[in-house]
Amino acid sequence: MKYNFIAIEGNIGAGKTSLASRIANIFNAKLILEQFEENAFLPKFYKDPDKYAFPLEMSFLASRFQQLKDQLGPRDLFKTFTISDYFIIKSLIFARKTLGEDEFNLYTRFFNIIYQQLPKPDLLVFLHLDTPQLQQNIKIRGRSYEQEIQDDYLNKIRDGYFEFIRQQSNMRILVLDTNNLDFVHNEKDYRKLEEIIMDDHPVGIHRYTF
């Protein structure tokens, strides 16, 4: 196996969990899934972002750090590699778009301490979907607290990811435009992504449009 740790990232509704779970099942990989449904601040945030943004982002940061620290320790000898449907960098990306300047500066101090303590993914995969398709996926999966997410919020998160990706020079990053794929229900579409993800990529940003 070329990679010990693969992280799948993307906007809300991009299909991160579906893709990571499928790859883990096929390749007998250790699967790490974000435990966002346990966050009590999430439904409150979508109703009142200004009031609940900081406690939401801090609680996410703490839970993500604890989970990744626990799960990315010694390798599981019975698994080929580890794959996750998120990486800790999403905490900074979301916080940059949801927090005011003073709160974000404080948040960044905590984040930088945490970020240095976690191993970085050997391969970071970003799934890109246009906002209308994200909204359609959000409605289909039917989580009640997500139904009020606005296009503007999704656009801000997308821009935050692109900003982060453009600044990276020492990571392997795949940017996969999946607007014309249905990798959840179409086997051929899934195999296209699998083949690219499992290929040997040099350090740098690699973009694919289907």
HSE-CB for 28 with a 13 A CA cutoff: 6
**Phi, psi of 78, rounded to the nearest 5 degrees:** -95, 5
Among residues of the chain, what percentage have pLDDT more than 70? 100
Of 50-59, 73-82, 111-120, the one with minimum mean pLDDT is 73-82
* pLDDT grade for 137, boundaries at 50, 70 and 90: very high
pLDDT greater than 70 at residue 37 = no
pLDDT greater than 90 at residue 23 = yes
pLDDT greater than 70 at residue 1 = yes
| CA distance linking residue 87 with residue 118, whole number of Å | 10
Average pLDDT over residues 68-80: 87
pLDDT, tens only, 2-13: 899 999 999 999
The secondary structure of residue 30, as a DSSP letter, is E
The residues assigned a catalytic role are: 85
Average pLDDT over residues 130-136: 96
pLDDT, tens only, 194-208: 999 999 999 999 999
pLDDT greater than 70 at residue 72 = yes
CB atoms < 10 A from the CB of 190, how many?
19
Average pLDDT over residues 134-141: 94
Q: Return the pLDDT at 74.
A: 76
**Higher per-residue confidence, 185 vs 36:** 185
Taking the CA atoms of 90, 177, 164 and 139 in sequence, report the sign of the dihedral they define.
negative
| CA distance linking residue 210 with residue 204, whole number of Å | 20
For domain 5-209, is the CATH number 3.30.420.40? Answer: no
* pLDDT grade for 78, boundaries at 50, 70 and 90: confident
Structure-block tokens of residue 176: 């996969």
Where do the domains of the chain lie?
5-209
Q: Return the pLDDT at 171.
A: 95
| CA distance linking residue 179 with residue 160, whole number of Å | 19
* CA distances to 47, 56, 143, 149, 200 from 52, in Å: 9, 6, 19, 15, 42
| CA distance linking residue 120 with residue 142, whole number of Å | 32
Average pLDDT value over all residues in the chain = 94
Q: Return the pLDDT at 40.
A: 86
pLDDT greater than 70 at residue 91 = yes
| CA distance linking residue 145 with residue 158, whole number of Å | 20
Q: Return the pLDDT at 209.
A: 96
